[in-house]
Structure 1
Amino acid sequence: MIRLRLLLTLVLSTHITGFSAEISVFVQTGASVQLDIQTQEKPEFEDLYWTKDKSENLVKYTNESKKVKIYNDRVDFNDSTFSLTLKNMRKTDSGPYRARTIGKSENDIVKYRVSVLDAVEAPVLTVNSKWSSHESCNFTCNGSNITISFIYNRSSCFPEEVTSSDLYTLRLICSNDSIVCNYSNPVSLKTDTVNVNEHCTVNEGTYCIRSEL
């Protein structure tokens, strides 16, 4: 079983107000994700807010009374660590999130950019034509939006990979025994495999033709 991990990336940006860091988080549709304040020392404040899109309040925590007010029934708040857990994520939950403190001054503690993605569909690895003494053995590896066409001959075989602009990756791995087609995005991976010996007689030369649809 493949362990899927959240992909965290620091995205650095400069604003009129100064320098800030935004953490990009990818989460699968229907899953949960925890957003931490990313600081070892607890900040000093009167009120702490978790918000979405700068204006939609999710949680308000009042330090003096230790009172927590929840504005969304699909979030949990930890009043010890000040972390926010977003549950049963939907694509409409994608967007910017931030933890903000109000006291003597107003400060953003941390900013996130959350992207909710569906799991990929399984790729399809097909044999287009079988090898004979005068023909190549042709395979096509199809993801939902990317294709790698592979002409197999007898030689060393090198992995081929294509990544689309929306972070879907199709990767073809081949050997003397098998061809593996991996299709993935930041939250999921699925695979299709064929046995080369069932379809091809080994010949000379190997190359791949890649195309993005």
Structure 2
Amino acid sequence: MFIFVILGLLVCTEAQGISAGTPVFVLKGEDLLLNVTKAVVLGKFDDFSWKCNKSNIVRFTFNDKGASPHYTGRIEFPENNFSVKLKNLQEADSGVYTAVVMKDSGDETEAKYSVKVQDRASLPLLTVSSVSESSSSCSFTVTCSSQDSHINSTFTCDTRTCSQEGGERSEGIPDTFLQVYQSSGSIICNHSNHVSWTNDTNTIKDVCHQQDDPEGLSVCLVKTCVFSVGLIIMVSAVITVHLMEKLNKNK
């Protein structure tokens, strides 16, 4: 019984995918090729049409073709088949695009695409707050925000590593995502969609001074050690010269 339920769900899921069409994401201003992969042969009384949300884009007949006035200057026919290229897509061009052959015996769907036109992801903002430091560790909270959403994450760092809590991927408006994470000594706030991404960063050592030197030695401490060793050598040299002069006089 359980197996039949699973098989039924799989069949339903596959059917929904076919009904919705192949998902396609396009960057605003780019072109889209609506492709027919299998050979289509029109009879004398057959029509072939590309439709967007059931409205005609272009119609092919046995010996002619014509585009909708809305697509004048925005449509090309790149090949000697029924594929078409739409130019300079805008967000309003999002929709379900279907290739249909109309015959006396009934309509046949040859291709179907669910198209979403997206603008570039906006630049996010990374802000740091609630910094708490001790001699061995540092804890701070960051906020990664876009125009439509934000997420928070807390980092705890010592002289070598940082651990993170929160900052998982979050969805703002549909098909856009925010994520905050650490990489190569930086905190990265990433804003993305299906066609582009952008980010804002902050260096961990600018927030946590424990991270200035991965070996746990500060630059100031190294300079102090070098100066001290040099001073000892100089004093030893002066004492040695003074003793040598004294021994020479006593001979």
Give the Cα separation in 2 of the matches to 1:196 and 1:32: 41
- Bigger relative contact order, structure 1 or 2, given CA contacts below 8 A and separation 6+? 1
- The answer to which structure has the higher strand fraction is 1
Query: Residues 186-197 of structure 1: matches in 2 within 5 Å?
Result: 186-197=194-205
Matched position secondary structure for 1:160:
coil
Larger Rg: 2
Matched position secondary structure for 1:100:
strand
Match of 2:178 in 1: 170
Structure 1 pair 33/202, CA: closer, same or farther in 2 (3 Å)? farther
Give the Cα separation in 2 of the matches to 1:91 and 1:176: 37
Query: Residues 61-140 of structure 1: matches in 2 within 5 Å?
Result: 61-63=60-62, 65=63, 67-71=64-68, 72-73=71-72, 74-105=74-105, 106-133=107-134, 136-140=139-143
Give the Cα separation in 2 of the matches to 1:51 and 1:131: 60
Compute the displacement of 1:21 (Å).
Answer: 6.0
Compute the displacement of 1:142 (Å).
Answer: 0.8
Compute the displacement of 1:57 (Å).
Answer: 1.5
**Are 1:24 and 1:113, in contact at CA under 8 Å, matched by a contact in 2?**
yes
Aligned residues between the structures: 184
Match of 1:199 in 2: 207
Give the Cα separation in 2 of the matches to 1:128 and 1:103: 66
Give the Cα separation in 2 of the matches to 1:202 and 1:153: 11
Compute the displacement of 1:174 (Å).
Answer: 0.7
Query: Residues 1-20 of structure 1: matches in 2 within 5 Å?
Result: 12-13=14-15, 20=19
Please, what is the CA RMSD of the aligned residues? 2.6
Compute the displacement of 1:175 (Å).
Answer: 4.0
Compute the displacement of 1:164 (Å).
Answer: 3.8
Compute the displacement of 1:202 (Å).
Answer: 4.5
Compute the displacement of 1:81 (Å).
Answer: 3.5
Q: State yes or no: 1:160 paired with 2:163.
A: no
Give the Cα separation in 1 of the matches to 2:22 and 2:151: 32
Aligned letter for 1:124? L
Match of 1:31 in 2: 30
TM-score, with normalisation over the residues of structure 1? Answer: 0.75
Compute the displacement of 1:190 (Å).
Answer: 0.5
Q: Percent identity?
A: 31
Matched position secondary structure for 1:92:
helix
Match of 1:147 in 2: 150
